Structures are given as C-alpha cells and as structure tokens.
Amino acid sequence: MLQFLRSLPKIELHAHLNGSLNIDSIRELAAKVYGVQTKEFSTLCERFIKFEKGAKLDECFEKFGFVHELTSTKEGLEYATELVIRDFAKDNVIYVELRTTPKANANMSRRSYLETVLGVIKKKSDLYKIKVKLLPSINRAEPVSVAEETVALAVELAAIEPEIIVGIDFSGNPNQGKFKDFIPVLSKARNHGLKLAIHCAEVDNQVEIREMIRFGMSRCGHGTYLSDSGFEHMKEENIPIECCLTSNVKSGTVTNIGAHHLKQLMTTCAPKVLCTDDSGVFDTTLSNEFFLATESFGLTKSQCIALTMEAVEHAFATREEKMMLKMQIYKYTRLQNKQNEP
C-alpha cells in the first residue's frame, strides 16, 4: 500500500512553506547557505520535530522561529523554497499550493520576500516536474496593517503572475488576533478575484466559526471544531475541509487519529482533501498522510485515488490544468490496473 501511495501522483493543497522544510533539508540549507554543521545545530534539529504527548497548539508556533531564522536572508529563502518544491516532487506530488507569510526584516521587505519565492517557483517548477501555486498568507497574530500590505502585494503580483498567485491564506495562531478585524482586507482580496483558504475551526471558538462561515471561503483549513450544522453548511456549499491528520494529532487539536473528523467526512460524502500542513514540523509526507488514512479508517486504493481526484477539483487551478492533472492520475491508475491483471 505504502509503495502504491508513494508512486501515486498527488495533489497538495495545504502546505506552509516554512513548515514544510524537513529535517534533512534544514540541515542541507544550513550547511549550504550558512555553513552550519555544529553539534548544537543537530540538537536543535532533533528538538524541532520532537513533540511531547499532550503537546499544545501554542507550542507548534514556537517551533517556526527556528526555520524563520534560516529563511531570513534572500539566499536562505531562495534555497528553502527550492528544497520544499524538490521534496514535494520527490514524494510524487504533481501539484502543490504553497502558502507563506511575507516577512520584513533587515534583509528583505515583504515585497522582496514574495518576489523571491515567486522567482524560485518560476525557475524551478519545470525542473522538478511539478506545478506550483502561491498563496500569500495573512498571519492573524500580526496587525491588520500587515495584512493590508500583504493583500496589496498579492493583488499587484497576481496581475503579473495570474497563473501562480491564485489566492490568500488566513492562518497563524488561532488563539491570537480576531477574525472580525480582518474581514475588510479579506473582502478586498476576494473582490480582486483571489480565492480564500481560511484556517477555520482549528480550535473551539464557536463565535468566530460562525463569523467565518457567514463571511465564506473557498476552502476550509482543518474544520476540526465545526458543529454538525457547520459541517452540513460546508457540504451544501461544496467547501472542502483540508484535513491534516498528523498536524492535528501532534498539535493536540484532535485527541487521537481514530477521533479525526476525516472519518465523518468520508461517511457523509462531504468534500474533503488530505494535506500535510507542515510536513517538516510534523515530520510527515503526503504519502504518509494517505497511509495513515488507510491504516486508521480502512481507505482502499480506489478511495485514495478518488480523494486525489477530489483534490484536483478543489485546487485553485484553471480548467486546463485540472484536465492535465486528472490525465496524469488516470494514467497511473490504468498502469496499476494493467499490472494487477492476471
């Protein structure tokens, strides 16, 4: 099964750039760009992917600082972006939507941050035979003024690269910031044609969940604490829940894999996609997330293929791109069927 899942051409719709750098790539990045190969660094790397039982979501957010240091220079960010693209491609992901929060520091403005990531996507996608889109992220823990700058940049750059910048991600620590404050800036993004992927119901805040549902979104990140009527609403509106199994379990928002809402989404035939969230921090791959789903919920190979096709449907891609992706998946499944013929 694992071999089948690794070779299956896959679609990744929920991946944070800085969270997707796996431990080997972090070491590679540190060595190549900064020449770091000390023992202390190795200890930091090991601590990075270690989660104590009963970890809290807040602890995850402290981990990002480690990678953010390594991507705080243009060179570091460039190489990190390439490594993340390479690693998804290695796992046979044929289409990935990367999301990332533009950060300003002494080395880069938010504009140059986004332009740097965009530049690498343009230069490297063909090399790794993977289609890459970019969703600039709004970090809800930061002031609204930062979100306004991010959306203004996204709108401007999307006009130049409409095939790459296709939406906005609303993320960050759900225990910080108020969704309501971001409604005007998110509306602006939507009015300019950008799709919205919103982290919604990652924690149990029913007032905010209702505000988000009322506002609307193209895709829902996590959806863990949606009420029954919330789940129904998402189904009626054909809004998929981006399910991130390992992320939810390791960060403690879901008590154990068996309790994950993917099970309910499967039984009710509600729209859903399987994603990694932060494959580096949570030490996983998309193949691994599928494998977990097969082990925990008994998903068959054909259900995994159907889930992949469903992800194509919900991708922020053009009709032509979706056709191409479906063809690639179909080709693989036909080959599999042939090989299994007696």
Residue positions annotated with a catalytic role: 202
| Site for ligand 6MZ contains 199 (CB under 6 A) | yes
Query: From the CB of 285, what's the least distance to ligand 6MZ, in Å?
Result: 16
CA pair distance 116, 98, nearest whole angstrom: 14
**Among residues 78, 82, 91, 277, the one that binds Zn ion under rule CB under 5 A:** 277
Stretch that binds Zn ion, among 35-43, 108-116, 204-212, 270-278 (CB under 5 A): 270-278
Q: Which is nearer to ligand 6MZ, 17 or 245 (CB)?
A: 17
Stretch that binds ligand 6MZ, among 17-25, 88-96, 183-191, 259-267 (CB under 6 A): 17-25
CA pair distance 176, 155, nearest whole angstrom: 26
| Site for Zn ion contains 149 (CB under 5 A) | no
| Binding-site partner at residue 202 among Zn ion, ligand 6MZ, none, CB < 5 to 8 Å by type | ligand 6MZ
**Among residues 97, 149, 278, 289, the one that binds ligand 6MZ under rule CB under 6 A:** 278
Query: From the CB of 97, what's the least distance to ligand 6MZ, in Å?
Result: 12
| Binding-site partner at residue 100 among Zn ion, ligand 6MZ, none, CB < 5 to 8 Å by type | ligand 6MZ
Contacts (Cβ under 8 Å, ≥6 apart) of 117 = 17, 77, 81, 98, 100, 134
| Binding-site partner at residue 17 among ligand 6MZ, Zn ion, none, CB < 5 to 8 Å by type | ligand 6MZ
| Binding-site partner at residue 325 among Zn ion, ligand 6MZ, none, CB < 5 to 8 Å by type | none
Contacts (Cβ under 8 Å, ≥6 apart) of 67 = 18, 19, 21, 26, 48, 80, 280
User: Coil, strand or helix: which one is 195?
Assistant: strand
User: Coil, strand or helix: which one is 137?
Assistant: strand
Which of positions 144-183 make contact with ligand 6MZ (CB under 6 A)? 171-172
- Among 128, 129, 93, smallest CA distance to 15 is for 93
Which of positions 240-269 make contact with ligand 6MZ (CB under 6 A)? 247, 251
CA pair distance 332, 326, nearest whole angstrom: 10
